[in-house]
């Protein structure tokens, strides 16, 4: 009886794994399929002639309106994603740390300020997307990196502040006080004593910020309109219309979009678990 239960359990786990991993598998193998294997029935579950053409571009993919093919076309979007993501990660971590320290140590603004900052994270982005579009148009910031960096910061900073408040609170107050006794100003205490001690927390916030900015879709869609500032997810969105999509190159672009985040996220998994269920 117990043996049967164990077998049933493993079968259920296998079904779960297939359900949750198959779409990813499909995307990955399609990226390595030559164009004649994209549209077959029954579908090809293993590419018989794996190719890298989808990544580097080839004549045959152009038949399908495949301007998506080739790294050269993805490059501007990849560059935009990297510039925006890294800036958001750096700036976001710095201002989250400053605010979190002030709130954790000096209770600046009281519970209201802290709750207000965190609540912003939970509001639907579409709510601010329309007014931001109008305002950024007036400021001539539409289709610039700054439009994305500023709007992504609003998404990223609340979570950063939340995580870092709990991080700073775990560092004993006595350590700051010892620094004051030695004649340090509050800012010096923060910069030379508290920050180095909270390096893992800062790293986690930076990684999480990068991940969020990298995958953000709606604001990037509304606030940019060409290769000068559009990010990778929008690149994918542009090429998915039409009835015969160049699946191979699009999947290859999907891998480029997905890989950095998945790798980062798996590395930061521990912090993720902690951030979501902190102090429990």
Partner 1 sequence: MVLPVLALFLAMTIYPFGFMIWASFRDYDLSKSAETHFIGLSNYFQIFRDSTAIESMKFTAKLLSIAVPVELVLGVLIAFLIRGVKGEKIIRSSLLIPMMIPPAVSGVAWKMLYNFAFGPVNWFLSLFGVPKISWLGDPFYAQLGIIIIDVWQWTPFIFLMIYAGLQSIPQDLIDAARVDGADWGRVFLHVEFPLLRPLILVALVLRIIDCLKTFDIVFMTTWGGPGSATHTYSFYIYKVGISFGWNIGYASALSVLLLIVAIVLVNVVFRLVRMRQQLGFGGEE
User: Contacts with partner 1 in 241-270 (CB under 8 A)?
Assistant: 241, 245, 247, 250-251, 254, 257-258, 261-262, 265-266, 269
| Distance in angstroms (rounded) separating the CA atoms of residues 214 and 220 | 10
**Of 191 and 197, which CB lies nearer to partner 1 in the complex structure?**
191
In the set 54, 233, 246, 271, which binds partner 1 (CB under 8 A)? Answer: 233
Within positions 30 to 89, which residues make up the interface with partner 1, using CB under 8 A? 30, 38-43, 45
Binder among 123, 178, 180, 228 for partner 1 (CB under 8 A): 123
CB of 256 to partner 1, least distance (A): 10
Q: Which is nearer to partner 1, 79 or 121 (CB)?
A: 121
Compute the Cα dihedral for 197, 100, 123, 145 and give only its sign: negative
The one segment of 54-62, 133-141, 174-182, 194-202 that binds partner 1 by CB under 8 A: 133-141
Q: Rounded CA gap, 269 and 198, in Å?
A: 18
Structure tokens, 53: 């053409």
Binding marks (x or -) toward partner 1, 6..25, rule CB under 8 A?
A: ---xx-xx--xx-xxxxxx-
Q: Which of residues 159-218 bind partner 1 (CB under 8 A)?
A: 161, 165-166, 169, 187, 190, 211, 214-215, 217-218
By CB under 8 A, name the one of 7, 52, 108, 175 that touches partner 1: 108
As measured in angstroms, the least distance from the Cβ of 72 to partner 1 is 20
- Using rule CB under 8 A, residue 115 touches partner 1: yes
Q: Residue 165 or 205: which CB sits closer to partner 1?
A: 165
Question: Could you tell me which stretch among 5-13, 58-66, 71-79, 199-207 binds partner 1 (CB under 8 A)?
Answer: 5-13
How many of the chain's residues bind partner 1 (CB under 8 A)? 102
Of these, 83, 86, 129, 197, which contacts partner 1 (CB under 8 A)? Answer: 129
Per DSSP, the residues of the chain read: -HHHHHHHHHHHHHHHHHHHHHHHHHHHHHHTS-GGGTS-SSPPSS-SS--SHHHH--GGGGGGT-TT-SHHHHHHHHHHHHHHHHHHHHHHHHHHHHHHHHHHHH-TTHHHHHHHHHHHHTS-HHHHHHHHHHHHHHTT-TTSHHHHHHHHHHHHHHHHHHHHHHHHHTS-HHHHHHHHHTT--HHHIIIIIIHHHTHHHHHHHHHHHHHHHHH--HHHHHH--STTT--HHHHHHHTS-SSS--HHHHHHHHHHHHHHHHHHHHHTHHHHHHHHTTT-
Q: Judged by CB under 8 A, does residue 4 bind partner 1?
A: no
Print burial letters for 237-248: b (CB count within 10 Å at least 16), e (below 16): eebeeeeebbbb
Q: Which is nearer to partner 1, 9 or 49 (CB)?
A: 9
CB of 183 vs partner 1, minimal distance in Å: 20
Tell me: does residue 109 bind partner 1 (CB under 8 A).
yes
What is the closest distance, in whole angstroms, from the C-beta atom of residue 123 to partner 1 in the complex? Answer: 5
């Amino acid at each position: 009886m117990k043996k049967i239960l164990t077998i049933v359990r493993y079968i259920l786990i296998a079904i779960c794994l297939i359900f949750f991993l198959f779409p990813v598998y499909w995307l990955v193998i399609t990226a390595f399929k030559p164009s004649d294997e994209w549209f077959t029935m029954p579908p090809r579950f293993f590419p018989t002639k794996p190719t890298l053409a989808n990544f580097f571009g080839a004549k045959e993919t152009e038949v399908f309106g495949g301007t998506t093919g080739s790294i050269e076309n993805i490059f501007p979007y990849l560059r935009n994603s990297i510039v925006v993501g890294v800036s958001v990660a750096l700036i976001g971590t710095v201002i989250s740390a400053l605010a979190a320290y002030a709130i954790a140590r000096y209770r600046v603004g009281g519970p209201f300020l802290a709750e207000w900052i965190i609540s912003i994270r939970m509001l639907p982005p579409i709510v601010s997307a329309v007014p931001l579009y109008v305002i950024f148009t007036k400021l001539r910031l539409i289709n610039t990196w700054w439009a994305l960096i500023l709007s992504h910061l609003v998404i990223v900073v609340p979570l950063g502040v939340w995580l870092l408040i709990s991080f700073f609170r775990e560092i004993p107050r006595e350590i700051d006080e010892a620094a004051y006794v030695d004649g340090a100003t509050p800012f010096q205490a923060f910069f030379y004593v508290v920050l180095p001690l909270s390096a893992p927390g800062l790293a986690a916030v930076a990684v999480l910020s990068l991940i969020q900015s990298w995958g953000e879709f709606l604001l990037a869609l509304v606030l940019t309109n060409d290769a000068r500032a559009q990010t990778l997810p929008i690149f994918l969105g542009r090429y998915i219309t039409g009835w015969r999509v160049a699946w191979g190159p699009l999947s290859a672009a999907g891998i480029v979009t997905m890989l950095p985040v998945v790798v980062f996220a798996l590395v930061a998994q521990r912090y993720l678990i902690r951030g979501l269920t902190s102090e429990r």
